[in-house]
Amino acid sequence: MAGADSQVNAGEEKKAECGKKKMKEGAGDGGRTELNPWPAFINERLEMYNKLKAEHDALLAERAANDSKPIKVTLPDGKQVDAESWKTTPYQIACGISQGLADNTVIAKVNKMVWDLDRPLEGDCTLELLKFEDEEAQAVYWHSSAHIMGEAMERIYGGCLCYGPPIENGFYYDMFLEEGGVSSNDFSALETLCKKIMKEKQAFERLEVKKETLLEMFKYNKFKCRILNEKVNTPTTTVYRCGPLIDLCRGPHVRHTGKIKTIKIHKNSSTYWEGKADMESLQRIYGISFPDAKMLKEWEKFQEEAKSRDHRKIGRDQELFFFHELSPGSCFFLPKGAYIYNTLIEFIRSEYRKRGFQEVVTPNVFNSKLWVTSGHWQHYSDNMFSFEVEKEVFALKPMNCPGHCLMFDHRPRSWRELPLRLADFGVLHRNELSGALTGLTRVRRFQQDDAHVFCAMEQIEEEIKSCLQFLRAVYDVFGFSFKLNLSTRPEKYLGDIEVWNQAEKQLENSLNDFGEKWELNPGDGAFYGPKIDIQIKDAIGRYHQCATIQLDFQLPVRFNLTFVSHDGNDKTRPVIIHRAILGSVERMIAILTENYGGKWPLWLSPQQVMVVPVGPTCDEYAEKVKQHFHNAGLMADVDVDPGCTLNKKIRNAQLAQYNFILVVGEKEKASGTVNIRTRDNKVHGERTIADTVERLLELKRSRSRQAEEEF
C-alpha cells in the first residue's frame, strides 16, 4: 500500500473514465510503463470505499462488543477449540496450533464453505485449514493473484477490468481498452509491478455493500455495472480491496498480497465480452503463481513439454487435419487424420459387437418440437444451429438421446427386449462461441461414440458393471489410467427420492465390484439422475474428462416411454443410461495426439511402413514391396527421392514417426526380403515380405502399444 495514497491524489486531474487514456510507451522494448498520474476513478473509488469501510469496522466492533459469545470450533481430527463469535478468526486458531501451520495455510473452510482467514467466525462451526496442495486452496491462491495482476493492469493501462477468475492452471483478467492493445512486450513491466505489489503485503479486505452504492462506485466501468444489474439478485454483494484496487468479488482471498511468492505473466489474447462475438472486444492476460520458485520452474518445464506435444502443431506437421475460417470450429481431416478417425470408430464398433450394442443411424435435422419435448430447447437453444423450413423451426441435433427416444417409442416394447443398447456415431453440431473454439478440444461439428441403454430399474447394476468393464478395456488399449467419481442427488432434483436411493445404491455396488478406487461427490449429480464421472490421465500427468455414465429418470417421462413388464403392466418406465467412452472423437484425437506426442502406436498410426530403396536400381522392387503392404491393409509409403541419401531417407522416415522402415537393396531384391528397423532405430534384420506382413497384421490386430519392441 506504500505510495498508493500519493499516487491516488495525483490522479485527481485525470479523466474519470477507464479505457480512454492513451497508454504511455515504455522506453527501449516498446512495452508499457506505469501511468503517472493514475486514472481519477482509482481515487474516487478508494474514497468511497474508505467511508464504507469505516462504517463497517464500527459496526463489527459494536457487534464484537455486544453480540460476542463463547463458541466451539471443531477441527478435522475431532478436537474442539474454544473461541468467541465475531472476534476469533481462523488465522488466530491456526496460530494457536502452530505458527508454521498458520503461515502455510492459504484459506480456511468453515462449515464446508471457503472462508477468509481474517474473517471472524460467527458461531459454532467446523474448521479446516487448507494448504496450496488442496484444489480449493489453489483456486483461491490464483484468484488472489488475479487481483494482484488486475491492480497492475489498472495502473499500467488504465482500462476497465471485467472478469478475472482462477482457471485450471492459473488465472486471467479481461480488460476493455478504448485505444491500443496488450503486447507481450508489456509482460515484463506487469510482472515487475506485480512483484512490487506482492512485496508491499497489501491486505485483502472484504466488504459487503448495497447494490445501489456499488453502481455508484463502479459508474466509470459499464462492465461492472452490467454484472451488478444482470447477475446480482441480492440487495447487497461483496467487494474486495488490495491496495488501490477495489473489485466486485465473492472471494475469499489470501490474507495479503505477500502470500503470493512467485508470479509469471505468460500469455495474452483477444476475446469478447462474455464470449459473444457481437459484444465489445476485450484484452485478456494470463498468469500463473506459486508459493515457491521451484514450483514455477517445474511448471515452465511442463509447459515446454506440453507445447512440443500440442495437437495443433503435430496435426499440422503430420498433415492430419486443419481448420478454415469458412467453417469455424469444423475440422477438415486429411487422409492421414481420417485414418485415425475411422480406426477409432472401428475399434469401438468392434467392441459394440462383442457387448450387445446395436448401431443405429438417426437424422441430423429435427423439428424444434422434439427439443421442446426433451427440454433442451428451453435450456440449450442458444447453443443449437436452428433455421426455418416452411414456417416451422428446425435445428441440427447437438445430441442423440431424443432421437433414440423416438426409436424406442416407435412401437410397443416388452421386458424381453431390455436392456436395449442403441449406439450412434451420428454427426452432432453445437453452436459454440467463436472465442471458445480451441483446436480439436472445442469444436462445432463432431461425432461421439454415443450410446443409450434402455433398461429396467433392476438391471441398472449389471449394465453399469458392463459399462465400466467396457471403458477399462478401451483405456487399457490406449495406456490410460483413470479415476472415478460417483456424483449423487443434488438439492434440486426431479423424481421420486426412493428411485434415486435405489439407483445410487446400484451404482455404488457396481463401482465396488469393479475393483478400482472411486470417490464420492455428494450432491454433484444432474437434476435428472446420478452419474459416474471418469477422468483419464495422459502421459504427462494431465487429467481429461472423456467418458461419462449418466442415469436419466426424466427423459423417459418427458417422452412417455413405457414397456410391458413381466407382470403385464404396460405402463412401466424404462431408465436411460447415457454413456460414451471416447466422448467426442475429435477431442479424443487431440488427447491421443498429445499423449503419444505424435508417436502413434502401430494399429492407430497413419504412417505404419516406409519402404526405402538403397539406390535407383531397387526403386521398382521397393514400389512392389510397398504395394504388398498396402494390399494387406497397412498404411505404407515408399521414398524413391533421388535427391536424398539412404541415411537421410531413413532419418526422414524416423522423424515422420513411421513405425517401421523397410530397407531394400540388391540382396533383398534377389531373395524377396526386407531389412527391418524401427523409428527408434531398433534393427530387427532381414525377413521375407510374407512373414513381415503377417507379423505386422498380427501386431495391428492385437492393438499392441509397443509393436516396434514386440516385432
Which position among 32, 489, 531, 579 bears the catalytic label? 531
Catalytic status, residue 452: yes
CB contact set of 411 (below 8 Å; sequence gap of 6+): none
Angle at 285 between CA 305 and CA 238, to 5 degrees: 120
Q: Measured between alpha carbons, how far is 262 from 170 in angstroms, rounded to an integer?
A: 12
Cell numbers of 533, please? 464421472
Cell numbers of 691, please? 512373414
CB contact set of 51 (below 8 Å; sequence gap of 6+): none
Catalytic status, residue 578: yes
Total count of residues recorded for the chain: 711
Q: Measured between alpha carbons, how far is 356 from 54 in angstroms, rounded to an integer?
A: 70
Cell numbers of 710, please? 514386440
Cell numbers of 676, please? 527391418
Q: Measured between alpha carbons, how far is 351 from 703 in angstroms, rounded to an integer?
A: 13
Q: Cell 489474447 sits at which residue?
A: 269
Cell numbers of 415, please? 421386458
Please give the radius of gyration of the chain, using alpha carbons only, rounded to the nearest integer: 31
**Three state DSSP letters for 118-187:** CCCCCCCEEEEEECCCCHHHHHHHHHHHHHHHHHHHHHHHCCEECCCCEECCEEEEEEECCCCCCCHHHH
Cβ neighbours of 107 (radius 10 Å): 29
Catalytic status, residue 250: no
CB contact set of 23 (below 8 Å; sequence gap of 6+): 32, 35, 156, 157, 158, 177, 179, 180
Catalytic status, residue 401: yes
Q: Measured between alpha carbons, how far is 517 from 484 in angstroms, rounded to an integer?
A: 7
> Measured between alpha carbons, how far is residue 70 from residues 62, 124, 233, 607 in Å?
16, 9, 34, 73
Catalytic status, residue 283: no
Buried residues in 58-92 as b, exposed as e (16+ CB within 10 A): eeeeeeeeeeeeebebeeeeeeeeebebbbbbbbb
> Measured between alpha carbons, how far is residue 95 from residues 90, 112, 138, 343 in Å?
9, 21, 21, 59
Which position among 14, 578, 649, 687 bears the catalytic label? 578
Is-contact 280 301, C-beta < 8 A? no
Is-contact 582 449, C-beta < 8 A? yes
Which position among 18, 401, 467, 546 bears the catalytic label? 401
**Prior bond of 252 cis (ω within 30°):** yes
Catalytic status, residue 253: no
**CA end-to-end span of the chain:** 67
Which position among 32, 45, 253, 430 bears the catalytic label? 430
Amino acid symbol at 117:
L
Q: Name the pairing type of β-strands 531-537 and 481-487.
A: antiparallel
Amino acid symbol at 579:
R
Amino acid symbol at 698:
E
Q: Measured between alpha carbons, how far is 78 from 126 in angstroms, rounded to an integer?
A: 9
Which position among 264, 452, 626, 679 bears the catalytic label? 452
Which residue in 285, 228, 259 sits closest to 138, CA to CA? 259
Q: Measured between alpha carbons, how far is 557 from 579 in angstroms, rounded to an integer?
A: 19
Q: Measured between alpha carbons, how far is 221 from 561 in angstroms, rounded to an integer?
A: 52
Is-contact 320 604, C-beta < 8 A? no
Which position among 186, 450, 538, 639 bears the catalytic label? 450
Catalytic residues: 401, 430, 448, 450, 452, 531, 578
